[in-house]
């Protein structure tokens, strides 16, 4: 599904290189966790996959379902099924959550050649998904992320994911800033969205999330490179020994 080969990325404004040759292969149905210390390039990788224009790819390629992903605009990546749950979900004052989500879903459906949903159909879909991640319906009428608590914002991202039905979901530090109850709810939501035809990439700093969402693979990112890959056991090892352990090249 996703094939990253020798990916080098720098920040457009200042030319600082963040990713220095990433190789990663993700197949349908797999859940990959990307771990690493602060500043290792985890979030950069997530944002580059979604097409953030503040970064520049200087070398390497990303193939998504056999297509050159780097040629696609951010909106077309989204329409092709890539979803990024942001670490810091953005507020859009004055625009109701339901309006935003419906516009978003219909933009994606149009791209897929599906019929757009009308207000009624959308509402019943949204209600079903909200029940599923234990979100109160009043969220639909509130402005996008405005006045939401940290946990509410993250849950709102998961709701969007549930409604937009992506093929590849990237969750960027979705666990950060969540208390344990909120973390459980978010994790349950994510687990329920695991499917044989859907891949997920979890970007996280802490092993904690992986107690609830068990990954198929764990990769450790450090200094812009994947320095170690393994199964879920790797995450536990990291928890015990800290990131310094990976830098020794063990």
Partner 1 sequence: MTDIAHHELEKLTDQDYKYGFTSDIDADQAPPGLSEDIIRLISEKKKEPKFMLEWRLKAYRHWGTMKEPTWSHVHYPPIDYQSITYYSAPRKKKEGPGSLDAIDPEVRATFEKLGISIDEQKRLSGIAVDAVMDSVSVATTFQKELAKKGIIFCSFSEAVQNHPDLVKRYLGTVVPYTDNFFAALNAAVFTDGSFCYIPKRVHCPMELSTYFRINAANTGQFERTLIVAEEGGYVSYLEGCTAPRRDENQLHAAVVELIALDHARIKYSTVQNWYPGDKEGRGGIYNFVTKRGKCLGKNSKISWTQVETGSSITWKYPSCLLIGDHSVGEFYSVAVTNNYQQADTGTKMIHIGKNTKSTIVSKGISAGHAQNTYRGLVRIQKGATESRNYSRCDSLLMGDQCGAHTFPYVEVGNHSSQVEHEATTSKIGEDQLFYCKQRGLSEEDAVNMIVNGFCKEVFRELPMEFAVEAQKLLGISLEGSVG
* Binding residue (CB under 8 A) for partner 1 from 51, 189, 215, 224: 51
Residues 133 and 149: their CA atoms lie apart, in Å, by 16
Least distance from partner 1 to the Cβ atom of residue 50, Å: 5
Q: How far is the CB of 149 from partner 1 (least distance, A)?
A: 18
CA dist 198 and 171 (Å) reads: 13
Number of Cβ atoms within 10 Å of the Cβ of 244: 9
User: In this structure, are residues 199 and 1 in contact, taking their beta carbons and an 8 Å threshold?
Assistant: yes
Residue 73 engages partner 1 in binding (rule: CB under 8 A): yes
Between CA 246 and CA 250 the distance in angstroms is 6
Distance CA 250, CA 231 (A): 16
Q: How far is the CB of 125 from partner 1 (least distance, A)?
A: 15
Q: Quick one: which segment of 91-99, 173-181, 183-191, 213-221 binds partner 1 (CB under 8 A)? A: 91-99
- Site membership for partner 1, residue 202 (CB under 8 A): no
* Cα gap 60→3, rounded to integer Å: 11
DSSP per residue over 181-223, as a string?
A: HHHHHHHHHHHHT-BTTBEEEEEES-GGGGGTS--SEEEEEET
Stretch that binds partner 1, among 20-28, 77-85, 124-132, 217-225 (CB under 8 A): 77-85
Considering only the stretches 50-58, 124-132, 207-215, 217-225, report the one whose residues sit in contact with partner 1 under the rule CB under 8 A.
50-58
Query: Does 36 participate in binding partner 1 (rule CB under 8 A)?
Result: no
By CB under 8 A, tell whether 18 contacts partner 1: no
Residues in region 134-193 near partner 1 by CB under 8 A: 143-144, 160, 164
Q: Indicate the residue among 111 and 225 with the shorter CB distance to partner 1.
A: 111
Distance between CA 102 and CA 85 in Å, rounded? 17
Please tell me the distance from the alpha carbon of residue 35 to that of residue 232, in angstroms, as a whole number.
Answer: 11
3-state SS class at 30: coil
- Binding residues for partner 1, rule CB under 8 A, total 33
Query: What residues make contact with partner 1 under the rule CB under 8 A?
Result: 50-54, 73-75, 77-79, 83-84, 86, 88-95, 100, 103-105, 107-108, 111, 143-144, 160, 164
């Amino acid at each position: 599904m996703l094939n990253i080969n020798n990916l080098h990325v720098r920040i457009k404004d200042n030319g600082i290189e963040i990713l220095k040759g990433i190789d990663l292969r993700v197949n349908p149905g797999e859940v990959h966790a990307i771990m690493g210390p602060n500043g290792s390039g985890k979030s950069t990788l997530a944002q580059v996959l979604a097409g953030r224009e503040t970064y520049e790819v200087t070398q390497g390629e990303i193939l998504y379902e056999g297509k050159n992903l780097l040629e696609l605009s951010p909106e077309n990546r989204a329409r092709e099924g890539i979803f990024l749950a942001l670490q810091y979900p953005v507020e859009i004052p004055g625009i109701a959550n339901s309006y935003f989500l419906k516009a978003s879903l219909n933009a994606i459906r149009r791209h897929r050649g599906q019929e757009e949903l009308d207000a009624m159909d959308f509402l019943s879909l949204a209600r079903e998904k909200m029940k599923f991640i234990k979100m109160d319906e009043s969220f639909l009428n509130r402005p996008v992320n405005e006045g939401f608590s940290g946990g509410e914002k993250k849950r709102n991202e998961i709701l969007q994911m549930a409604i937009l039905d992506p093929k590849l979901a990237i969750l960027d530090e979705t666990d950060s800033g969540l208390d344990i109850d909120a973390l459980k709810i978010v994790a349950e939501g994510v687990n329920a969205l695991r499917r044989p035809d859907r891949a997920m990439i979890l970007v996280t700093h802490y092993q904690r999330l992986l107690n609830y969402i068990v990954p198929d693979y764990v990769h450790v990112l450090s200094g812009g490179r994947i320095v170690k890959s393994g199964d879920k056991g790797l995450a536990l090892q990291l928890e015990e020994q800290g990131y310094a352990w990976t830098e020794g090249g063990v």
